[in-house]
Structure 1
Amino acid sequence: MSTLLNEKEAALRLGCSIYKLQKDRRIGSPIPFLKIGRSVRYQIEDIDAYMERQRFTSTMEYVGGRDDG
């Protein structure tokens, strides 16, 4: 079983606010999440994969605000 993080833990790992994660879920999150009852959980592997997709070596690689890989 994969390690699951709650919203607070995921936000800390990503360096963002819980509000940003909530907003992203409403508009279509670039990070997959699990809904278990009323709880939201993120798999640590999905967060790490998302962060890896945000890695660039040049500003020319960055395509106009891309944050979904």
Structure 2
Amino acid sequence: MTKQNETKPSRTEVQYKSKSYKSMADLAKAHDLNPSAVRRVVRQGKSLDESMAAALRVKKEKAKADAA
């Protein structure tokens, strides 16, 4: 039995720093970030800008630790 009203979640276009992305996942991938991490921070109530800043900060800290 199939559910006729069942649909996949729609992707929502997002804007970040004056550039449009097809989805939040595309935005994260464009900045070499984990899409789940960015989405999780947004779901916690942070803005997209705050979420991206946090994810980029973590990425820099990890790169710095890996270089040491």
TM-score category, normalised to shorter length: 0.3 to 0.5
Q: TM-score, normalised to structure 1's length?
A: 0.35
**Which of 1 and 2 has greater Rg?**
2
Question: Per residue, is there more strand in 1 or in 2?
Answer: 1
Question: Per residue, is there more helix in 1 or in 2?
Answer: 2
Q: Flag the structure with more relative contact order, 1 or 2, with Cα contacts below 8 A and sequence separation at least 6.
A: 1
